[in-house]
Amino acid sequence: MHSSTDMAMSWSLLLPFALALVASASHAAIVEHTFNVGNLSISQLCQPDRIITAVNGQLPGPTIRASEGDTVVVHLVNESPYGMTIHWHGIFQRGSQWADGPAMVTQCPVQTGGNYTYSFNVTGQEGTLWWHAHFSFLRATVYGALIILPRGGAKAYPFTKPDKEEIVMFGEWWNANVFDLQQMALLTGIPAGPADAYTINGKPGDLYNCSAPNQTHMFEVRKNETYLLRIINAALNTPLFFKVANHTFTVVAADACYTTPYKTNVVVVGPGQTVDALMVADATVGRYYMAASPYDSGIPSGPAFSKTVATAVLEYAGGANTTSPPALPQLPEFNDTDTAHRFLSNLTALVLPGKPTMPLAVDTRMFVTVGMGVADCQPEQTLCNRSRTMFASSMNNASFVPPRSTSMLEAHYSNATAGVYTRDFPDQPPILFDYTADASNNATMQYTTKSTKVRTLRYNETVEMVLQNTRLIAKESHPMHLHGFNFFVLAQGFGNYNQTTAAPQFNLVNPQERNTVLVPTGGWAVIRFIADNPGIWYMHCHFEAHLDLGLGMVFEVQDGPTPDTSLPAPPKDLPQC
Ligand code: C2O
């Protein structure tokens, strides 16, 4: 660690540079919000009023709008009965690592009655991101959009300036209390049941039994105008197909990274992912359904999921009086992997001057299996039936458990990692096997154990990781999310990864850049990133049910040579456990 005199010295040396930076960023603003997290009474699906946890009494929570280079400051005031943290999904948190948010990874939860100020810059990023609770299942109702405009505003988009922008945010709704659901899943080792509904901007829409008129989101459009839809999947456990009857899209960005314009009539978005799509209101004046339906990639079919469809209504100016019901788009089958793969693998980056390009030299290669398995009941699982094994998910057969008493980032910062985590996350699975073969579906192969392992990286190391899905329980498309970085997706495919046949297919020219990749079901994806952000960074499946069962690991990125490339000291108000 640097002593304060060292810091003062190096800061005085850096001062001229710092001043130059301030001058060039003189238009940068501070975007400040207060998030009061507390109980909200809400009626949904004709259920009597339910108490949920929400920010400022809103579902979804408030939208944060900033411009590239701004500083976002959010004062979290926790008036809810639960511990709370907020994660700013997709924000790099360079220099503000303590604001990343995952519970016990970068911070202890903010206790009831406590508060914490998250402060971070949105530099070098533009597009659609979002924020969500990162503790228990609370993100089911604690989430909202985080929009970063280009510095020059909408006219600086690298595509036709839309007439208007709309946020289209998907969620999952449970009639039961989600915190209790998660506790029960933890104690029993049996994953929580499926959601009762999918939602668009917090509302399930007309196709559910008992949907009241105010439970359908309305989007108003004018004939021939162009809309930028900022599509966000905030659902806990379900990738979704999205269509609008009689309308098509041009995708222009994914995970706040511009893409080569891609025309499609269906958008596929996994939990954690975002898609920006232009849509021209070029249909006959009238009313149309926008619909989100589940993509169930499990083979053989995965856990139970709700076979329902969330809808919103797209209403043209002058089209309100049509008496016929809105047209419904023809939706893909629930298990339509072809459609999902076509969309997900066809996206490429829009190469722009000054944007990061794919690193061609690789320092560290990792081959990491991702999927479900089983483990013994843990001591704290007091309701676990010891005669049966419980589900546990893992990466390279290590099933991740967060530490209990101190966050990993604090342990890393104070060099007191003993008893908190170990540095032995492996670069290969412990045994090599036929990952996707039905024969691997047996108790010996499925067995995993709980641990808190990190993979330590030198500052600026380039990492290539093959994510290989397994068939230990079932094949399934897992949305793998990396905190602190974007990564390039070089290639993806089905079956067991084969370096010889895959390498020639790598896109080294304009691979899509994302923060979350849906690894194809029973398949693989190859990603690359540069570890130029010191700190403790969670990598995990963005299915909340799988994360809870251990589908994650952590990168520990060492400090670089300068104060600027080193982890800063923790803020004074960092919550204590
Ligand atoms: Cu949006 Cu750790 O996740």
Each residue's pLDDT tens digit, 65-76? 999 999 999 999
Counting from 1 in the atom list of ligand 1, the atom nearest the Cα of 130 is 1
For CA atoms 199, 135, 520, 464, give the dihedral sign. Answer: positive
Q: Are 275 and 251 in contact (CB under 8 A)?
A: yes
Among 155, 184, 211, the domain-final residue is: 155
Amino acid making up residue 201: N
Q: What is the pLDDT of residue 320?
A: 72
Residue 248: what pLDDT? 98
Helix (H/G/I), strand (E/B), else coil: 289: strand
Residue at 553 is within a domain: yes
Q: Give the CA distances from residue 314 to residues 168, 245, 322, in Å, rounded to whole numbers and listed in that order.
A: 12, 9, 13
Q: Which atom of ligand 1 is nearest to the CA of 540?
A: 2
pLDDT confidence of residue 335: 96
Q: Looking at residue 107, what DSSP letter applies? A: B
Same domain, 334 and 369: no
Our CA angle for 18, 68, 486, nearest 5°, is 95
Amino acid 176 reads A
CA atoms within 13 A on the CB side of 440: 23
Mean pLDDT of the chain: 93
Q: What is the CATH number of the domain that holds 125?
A: 2.60.40.420
DSSP of 294-321: E----BS--S------EEEEEEETT-TT
Q: What is the mean pLDDT of residues 7-15?
A: 38
Same domain? 463 vs 442: yes
3-state secondary structure at position 476: coil
- The answer to whether 524 and 506 are in contact (CB under 8 A) is no
Distance 552 CA to ligand 1 centre (A): 11
CB contact set of 264 (below 8 Å; sequence gap of 6+)? 248, 249, 250, 251, 343
Give the mean model confidence (pLDDT) for residues 458-483: 97
Cβ atoms 304, 194 nearer than 8 A? yes
pLDDT at residue 509 in the model: 95
Among residues 465, 485, 467, the alpha carbon closest in space to that of 537 is found at 485
The pLDDT of residue 390 is 84
Are residues 188 and 70 located together in one domain of the fold? no
Ligand 1 geometric centre to CA of 411 (Å)? 21
Residue 387 pLDDT > 80: no
Q: How many residues does the structure list for the chain? A: 577
* Residue 309 located in a structural domain: yes
- Domain carrying residue 521: 364-565
- Where does residue 328 rank: exposed (0-12), middle (13-18), buried (19+ CB within 10 A)? middle
Examine residue 354 and state whether it is found in any structural domain, yes or no. Answer: no
What lines the ligand 1 site, CB under 6 Å?
87, 89, 102, 132, 134, 272, 481, 483, 538, 540, 542
Tell me whether residue 575 is in a domain.
no
pLDDT confidence bin for 3, thresholds 50/70/90: very low
320 and 402 housed in the same domain: no
**Å from CA of 538 to ligand 1 middle:** 8
Q: Are 205 and 241 in contact (CB under 8 A)?
A: no
CA 374 – CA 395 distance, rounded (Å): 13
Residue 19 has pLDDT above 70, yes or no: no
Task: Measure the CA angle with vertex 457, ends 397 and 270; round to 5°.
Answer: 55
234 touches 171 (CB < 8 A): yes
| Residue 107 to residue 447: CA distance in whole angstroms | 30
270-292 average pLDDT score? 97
Do the domain assignments include residue 530? yes
Which ligand 1 atom is the nearest neighbour of the CA of 516? 1
Does residue 67 fall inside a structural domain? yes
pLDDT digits (tens, 9 = 90+) for 38-52: 999 999 998 888 999
* Residue ID of nearest Cα to ligand 1 atom 1: 89
Element (H, E) at 19: helix 4-24
Indicate if 372 and 282 belong to the same structural domain: no
Centroid of ligand 1 to alpha carbon of 133 (angstroms): 9
Distance 432 CA to ligand 1 centre (A): 29
CB 496 within 8 A of CB 470: no
**Residues 383, 479 within the same domain:** yes
- Judge whether 101 lies within some domain: yes
The answer on 444 and 305 residing in a single domain is: no
- What's the Rg (C-alpha) of the chain? 23
In angstroms, what is the span from residue 233 Cα to ligand 1's centroid? 12
3-state SS, one letter per residue, for 166-197: EEEEEEEECCCCHHHHHHHHHHHCCCCCCCCE
Q: Which of the listed residues 155, 170, 189 is the one where a domain comes to its end?
A: 155
Q: Answer yes or no: do 381 and 446 share one domain.
A: yes
What is the spatial distance between Cα 567 and Cα 1, in angstroms, rounded to a whole number?
9
Query: What is the whole-number distance in angstroms between the Cα of residue 377 and the centre of ligand 1?
Result: 26
Q: How many CB atoms lie within 10 A of CB 377?
A: 18
Rounded Cα distance, 131 and 145, in Å: 6
Q: How far apart are the C-alpha atoms of 110 and 302, rounded to whole Å?
A: 34
List, for residues 142-157, the tens digit of each pLDDT value: 999 999 999 999 999 9
Domains in the chain, number: 3
Measure the CA–CA gap between 318 and 556, rounded to whole angstroms: 57
CA distance linking residue 153 with residue 256, whole number of Å: 15
Whether the CB-CB separation of 102 and 84 falls below 8 Å is answered with no
| 3-class secondary-structure state, position 435 | coil
pLDDT tier for residue 27 given thresholds of 50, 70 and 90 = confident
> For residue 89, which atom of ligand 1 is closest to its CA?
1
Q: How far is Cα 423 from Cα 407, in angstroms, rounded to an integer?
A: 15
The number of the ligand 1 atom at minimal distance from the alpha carbon of 90 is: 1
Through-space distance between the first and last CA atoms of the chain, rounded to whole angstroms: 23
Q: Where a domain ends, among 121, 155, 189?
A: 155
Closest-CA residue to 212 (of 322, 40, 49, 39): 49
Same domain, 169 and 122: no
Q: Are residues 50 and 165 in the same domain?
A: no
Distance CA 377, CA 384 (A): 6
Total-model pTM: 0.94
**In 3-state terms, what secondary structure has residue 211?**
coil
Which is it for strands 516-518 and 454-457: parallel, antiparallel or unpaired? unpaired
Percent over 90 (pLDDT), the chain: 84
Count other Cβ atoms within 10 Å, centred on residue 11: 12
Q: Whose CA is nearest to atom 3 of ligand 1?
A: 89
199: three-class secondary structure by DSSP: strand
Residues 333, 261 share a domain? yes
CA dihedral angle for residue 403, residue 409, residue 410, residue 416, rounded to 10 degrees: 70
- Bridge partners, 485 (sequence order): none
- Judgement on whether residues 161 and 147 belong to the same structural domain of the protein: no
101 Cα nearest atom in ligand 1: 2
Parallel/antiparallel/unpaired status of strands 535-541 and 552-557: antiparallel
Q: Which of 73-82, 180-189, 386-395 has the lowest mean pLDDT?
A: 386-395
Task: State pLDDT tens for residues 214-238.
Answer: 789 999 999 999 999 999 999 999 9
Measured between alpha carbons, how far is 563 from 169 in angstroms, rounded to an integer? Answer: 38
Whole-Å CA distances, 190 to 174, 186, 378, 505: 17, 7, 13, 40
Judge whether 411 lies within some domain: yes
